[in-house]
Amino acid sequence: MTGPLIFTREDAIAIISINDAPYNRMTLEFMDALEVLVDTIAMDKTIRAVVVTGEGIDNFSVGMNLKQLPEGIKVKGSAEAVFDQRLAVISKIENMNKPWIATLFGYCLGGGLELPLGCHFRLAAEEGAQIGLPEMDLGAVPAWGGSARLSKCVGSHHALDLILRAKKISGPEAYRIGLVHETWPLNQLKDRAISLAHELAKQPAGAVRSMMSVIVGSENRSLDELLAAERSAVNANRGTPDSQEGMMAFLEKREPIFNRD
């Protein structure tokens, strides 16, 4: 299948696969396609969870195709414009209020980690993953929000260790420091991500949006602000068809069926 990415649907979930195996570079064409697709997913209420993966079983992504940077500067006007597009796309993913799940396997380097850092769930392969922001080896620094998000995710001490030493860590090590939520054998990883997406998509969509609006970015808000946001979420979800279904299912001792309104 041609094109910089492959987009498929399974019921209420979307699956995006970087289509440049075996390295799955995030080319200019990929970022343009992803930018359009992210906006489409944000507006599509029938999509309630998203999986981001890479084609094949070798690598999630080695990040940007650096050979394209001069072309990107020519097309978009400056290096800042190239980086700004990528920052904006990752920010839209992070703030969409729909859960995004990334699969980390093989090389997950540079942008191949920065994109997953903007996702809400990260699952890594138990074997073979090399995860990091090794820009120091190129005399450079992360440019798509990697240093900021990695610090918030794992703390400054782990972020400094990874970035200043250009380290590449395994899936189990990423789990140990809190960078990923789960590890799975490589041959089960993508299926597990899709299973998790279906699980999340079955949750009441309004309640999911409300909780994501409270929790995503919560480290930047005070406790009082978060309590106020939680109360707004409570009020927004009181008396909805899903809340009524949840209570009825509880009383009838059955599994609830949400998102039917």
> Which of 10, 80, 114, 225 is an active site residue?
114
CA distance between the termini of the chain: 36
Burial of 187 (0-12, 13-18, 19+ CB in 10 A): exposed
Q: Is 135 a catalytic residue?
A: yes
Distance (Å, rounded) from C-alpha 65 to C-alpha 88? 18
Give how far Cα 243 sits from Cα of 92, 211, 227, Å: 28, 14, 20
CB-CB contact of 40 with 94 (8 Å): no
Question: Which letter, b or e, does each residue of 128-166 get, where b requires 16 or more Cβ atoms within 10 Å of its Cβ?
Answer: ebbbbbbbbeeeeebbbbbbebbbebbeeebbeebbeee
Q: Is 219 a catalytic residue?
A: no
Give how far Cα 39 sits from Cα of 36, 92, 167, Å: 5, 8, 33
Q: How is residue 227 written in tokens?
A: 């309590």
> Which of 29, 135, 199, 219 is an active site residue?
135
State which amino acid sits at residue 54. Answer: G
Q: Which residues are catalytic?
A: 114, 135
